[in-house]
Amino acid sequence: MALRVMSDQAIRNLMAKLKEEARVVAPHRREGNNQWHFRDVVDPAEPELKYNSTLLPCKKYAFPPRDVLLRYGIGDQFKAEAVIEGVEPLVIFGAHPCDIYALEALDISMNERYVDPNWTTRRQAMRVVGVDCLPDEFCFCAAMKTDTVSTGYDVFLTPINDWNEYVVEVATDAGRTMLEAGQSREAASDDLSQVRAFHADKVRRQQLRQIQAEILQLPLHFTGFANSPVWEKWAERCYSCGTCNTACPTCFCFDIQDQLNAAVTEGERARSYDSCQLEEFAMVAPRENFREERKNRLRHRFFRKYAYLFTKFGRPYCCGCGRCYRQCVASIDPVQVINDLLAESAKEAKAHVL
């Protein structure tokens, strides 16, 4: 289908139309500050498609912070029933390329060996309308090659004419059906020139946020540097609070707990986000901790993002959204950490040559 152009008002009308058939969530500004979050669209005029980043990624709609897995009764006979809550037709309106990349990454990890029914069922009921963005000082999506995406969405919007219009790309049959509900015109050459200029500006804004290595080579640079002084250097600043994990679009570790009622006759088993930065994360009986030291926990997070899962799945499990840096109380910048490690790698390589 040829690229189309829709006005901002036509986009708002499309939201209203979609609300008649599904739950629609979009970025809204939080009252009193310069932060955004995904929430239900009530008034289509309220969502802000021109935004930097939401506090939490849209993965929460397929992988909620707390997710009941089963409910059971304890009596003469034990009975248990698997539960998948919150499944309904859902449109995520206004997801950035980095978040779309992250959803696809979790599609892989959540179905790698065993299919996660809770994740998969919700994802199958989900449609995605992406929107391009202009990065702020925390973003490094260009360095991670996630500043553009070609899959993972039904419709994608690129702003032109100072965000008063959008060039619309349709990628799926569901997206084509969406577009039929809105007014649009065929994109002209000037519209496409603005799209190219928009993306060039996006890359230009991140010239100072570059990782000093080809992204596909990152796992090799991590190899052999488990004991690098870089980990201790940055761990001295880390509070082990776990904010980086809970804000991350590609983290998927969780803890499972049972909750019983007071009469101990019934209960539920639920999973909730867990963080590899918390001291008790790697603790096993009898209180043995495989990553008791803070530097080992910080190292584990970086190896998992840029080496372990990268090697396993063929893609980095970091989308460059900058949420971990943006929300870190210690201002730990992953780009600086990686570049420090790369400098250490280059220094050692030079020493071997000499």
* C-alpha dist (Å) from residue 328 to 55, 211, 248, 325, 333: 12, 20, 11, 5, 9
- pLDDT in 10s for each residue of the chain, 354 residues: 679 999 999 999 999 999 999 999 999 999 877 899 999 999 999 999 999 999 999 999 999 999 999 999 998 889 999 999 999 999 999 999 999 999 999 999 999 989 999 999 999 999 999 999 999 999 999 999 999 999 999 999 999 999 999 999 999 999 999 988 788 999 999 999 999 999 999 999 998 899 999 999 999 999 989 999 999 999 999 999 999 999 999 999 999 999 999 989 999 999 999 999 999 999 998 889 989 999 999 999 999 999 999 999 999 999 999 999 999 999 999 999 999 999 998 887 666 655
Residue 57 CA to residue 78 CA, distance in Å, equals 38
Closest CA to 299 of 237, 230, 248, 251: 230
Which of 89, 85, 97 lies closest to 126 in space, CA to CA?
A: 89
Cα–Cα nearest to 179, from 151, 157, 149, 152 = 157
State residue 351's pLDDT score: 65
Who's near 22: CB < 8 A, 6+ residues apart?
88, 89, 90, 91, 127
> Which secondary-structure segment (H or E) carries 158?
strand 155-160
Is there a contact between 317 and 304 (Cβ–Cβ < 8 Å)? yes
Displacement of CA 19 from its chain's centroid (Å): 24
Residue 292 amino acid letter: E
- Beta strand pairing call for 155-160 and 165-170: antiparallel
Res 273: pLDDT? 97
Q: Amino acid identity of 177?
A: T
Cβ burial 190-220 (10 Å sphere, 16+ → b, else e): ebeebbeebeeebeebbeebebebebeebbe
Token match 């991140």: residue?
Answer: 206
Q: Specify the DSSP class assigned to residue 49.
A: S
152: left (phi over 0), alpha (psi -120 to 50) or beta: left
- In the chain, where are the structural domains located? 4-64+84-204, 215-253+274-345
The pTM score is 0.95
In sequence order, what are the residues at sequence separation of 6 or more whose Cβ sits closer than 8 angstroms to the Cβ of residue 81?
A: 70, 71, 72
The Cα 299–Cα 243 span in angstroms is 16
3-state secondary structure of 273: strand
The residues, any chain, with a CB within 8 Å of residue 208's CB and separated by 6 or more, are none
The pair of structure tokens assigned to 272 is 């909730």
Q: What is the pLDDT of residue 286?
A: 85
Tokens of 92: 């995520």
Residue 353: partners with Cβ closer than 8 Å, 6 or more residues away: none
How far apart (Å, rounded) are the C-alpha atoms in residues 354 and 13? 66
94: its two tokens: 């206004």
184 close to 169: Cβ distance less than 8 angstroms:
no
Say how far apart CA 131 and CA 169 lie, in whole Å: 10
Q: What are the angstrom distances between the C-alpha of 44 and each of 51, 97, 155?
A: 16, 22, 17
User: Rounded distance, CA 88 to CA 277, Å?
Assistant: 33
Sequential DSSP letters for 274-291: --TTSTTTTEETTTEETT
Which pLDDT score, from 0 to 100, does residue 1 have? 63
Residues 6 or more apart whose Cβ sits within 8 Å of residue 297: 235, 238, 240, 276, 277, 278, 279, 281, 282, 291
